[in-house]
Amino acid sequence: MTLVALVAGIDIGTGGVRVTVCDAAGVVWAEAEQALHTARRGALLEQDPAAWRVAAATCLRQVTEQVRDRASIRGIAVAATSGTVCLLDERGAPLRPALLYADSRAEVEAAYIATHATELQARLGYRFHSSWGLPKLLWLAHHEPALFAQTRYLAHAGDTLTGWLCGDYAVTDATQALKTGYDLVADRWPDLINELGLPLAKLPRVVSAGQPVGTVTADAAAATGLPVGATVVAGMTDSCAAQVAAGATRPGQWLSVLGTTLVFKGVSRELLRDPFGRLYCHRHPAGFWLPGAASNVGGEALRRWPAEQLPALDHAAADLTPTNLTIYPLRRAGERFPFIRPSAQGFEVGTPASDEERYAATLEGVAYIERLGYALIAELAGATEPTLRTAGGGARSPVWLQIRADVLQRPLAVASATGASFGAAVLAAGVTLHADLDSATAAMAHTSATVLPRPAYAERYDGGYQRFLAACVERGYLLGPRQRLL
């Protein structure tokens, strides 16, 4: 039986629901995961919100059985995909499947909103896209008006489980609300939403992530094994929660998540307004800003090789890098950061002497994109902390970590825990086990290793980076001979 206070975090991901229970030092006591089914029909991607509840209840029962003393769980928070929206009735039950963030049916609505929200977009430094929540809600209002009229709550994915836990379906956090059009500067829903024909009365009230919003009800406790009265804390989007898990929560701290794509997440004291809409900001619970962006380049570039070959290719790459090749390893058309070019294509300059050399140059190409991304971030945000945090599957390759550190000429600190469910647990700990999020992160988010750049490699990698920039300029991806980013 546990004798220490614990917190729990839930993550509603595309592939499944995950729950993590940990203590005030960040030690994980229990974890569980349940897969989810996604319905895909062309541009339409949907999931059943009721399945989220079933999966979460199953996971919570599993972890509370592992913990045994369920009364030790003091708080819980929910992380979820950003831009996913649901229609709920007055009891919080879903009226239809949820539209997932990657559902692109609302392109016409996104373009319409973008032309009518120029002032809001300019002030907040972003642009509406079909992946955002507000265009999806407008699509539902236009294409399913009868169902929309029955709706009591226009909810985000995380809101559905938060409401299930505490009984309040009319609350959301600021990171979830951003893509539904919430004005983070004025701290209110803008008049624009009413003008679009979406009733403000159906939208949730917005609180800061990490703020207590209720307690676990008797019904939720019976379904999950959680203790009645445990604090339910407003959560975050999954990417913001992963940033908390990695410990990048103070101004000047930045995180690179190298998974399928390369995601940049940081903290700034001021709102960063990118005139090209490549980067946008969530609101930090302490009043700072959480700028973020993502490239379409990342670990997906390695899918041209069978997974079982990667360890041997990594070993060979250590002896072949730096190469004289220039590779932009896009797997499909289009790039969104550090430049927006819907027609961008991957390219190779030079002829590899072997498949191993092409692999090494592919690792370098992702590192060059990372360096270019931080060059843009420096122009927008100013100085950042020298050490960058990193997470994701790409951070498990020592060879790739060393290449990236050498290209960046900056230390890379590998985060020990990076899952959004762990980040949600840290968020809950900020009001139940610690004085605030800053102290919770300091105590719970750890690094497993720090990779230092090798000065002897700086000149050769700098030459490769300059060739990479020149190739991007030649193709029109950058804005001139000086590789202007702004």
Side chain identity, residue 299: G
DSSP 341: B
Task: Output the six-digit token pair for 204.
Answer: 């949730």
Helix, strand, coil shares of the chain, percent, nearest 5, are 40, 25, 35
The pLDDT value given to residue 485: 54
C-alpha distances in Å from residue 99, one per residue of 6, 175, 282: 33, 18, 21
Q: Is 98 in contact with 50 (CB distance < 8 Å)?
A: no
What whole-number distance in Å separates Cα of residue 282 and Cα of residue 237? 10
pLDDT below 70 — which residues of the chain? 1-2, 480-486
Looking up tokens 């946008």 gives 280
Side chain identity, residue 207: V
DSSP 14: S
The helix (run of H) or strand (run of E) holding residue 179 is: none
DSSP 307: G
Task: Output the six-digit token pair for 299.
Answer: 């670990």
The pLDDT value given to residue 436: 94
What whole-number distance in Å separates Cα of residue 214 and Cα of residue 64? 20
For 12, the 3-state DSSP assignment is strand
The pLDDT value given to residue 480: 56
Q: Is 238 in contact with 420 (CB distance < 8 Å)?
A: yes
Pairing type for strands 231-237 and 347-349 reads unpaired
The helix (run of H) or strand (run of E) holding residue 301 is: none
C-alpha distances in Å from residue 253, one per residue of 5, 411, 412, 462: 29, 13, 12, 24
Q: 113-145: string of b/e by CB count within 10 Å (b at 16+)?
A: bbeebeebbebbbbbbbbbbbbbbbbbbbeeee
DSSP 77: E
What whole-number distance in Å separates Cα of residue 150 and Cα of residue 164? 20
The helix (run of H) or strand (run of E) holding residue 233 is: strand 231-237
What whole-number distance in Å separates Cα of residue 239 and Cα of residue 333? 24
Largest CA distance in the chain: 67
The pLDDT value given to residue 333: 86
What whole-number distance in Å separates Cα of residue 485 and Cα of residue 462? 18
What whole-number distance in Å separates Cα of residue 326 and Cα of residue 367? 12
Evaluate the omega torsion of the peptide bond into residue 145 and state whether it is cis, within 30 degrees of 0: no
Instruction: With CA atoms as reference, report the closest residue to 342 among 278, 274, 258.
Output: 278
Domains of the chain in sequence order: 6-240 (3.30.420.40), 247-474 (3.30.420.40)
The pLDDT value given to residue 173: 97
For 140, the 3-state DSSP assignment is helix
Instruction: With CA atoms as reference, report the closest residue to 198 among 87, 107, 122, 105.
Output: 87
- Name 466's Cβ contacts closer than 8 Å, sequence gap at least 6: none
Rg (CA), the chain: 22
CA atoms within 13 A on the CB side of 351: 1
**Environment class of 256 (CB within 10 Å of its CB; exposed 0-12, middle 13-18, buried 19+):** buried
- Please give the model's pTM, rounded to 2 decimal places: 0.88
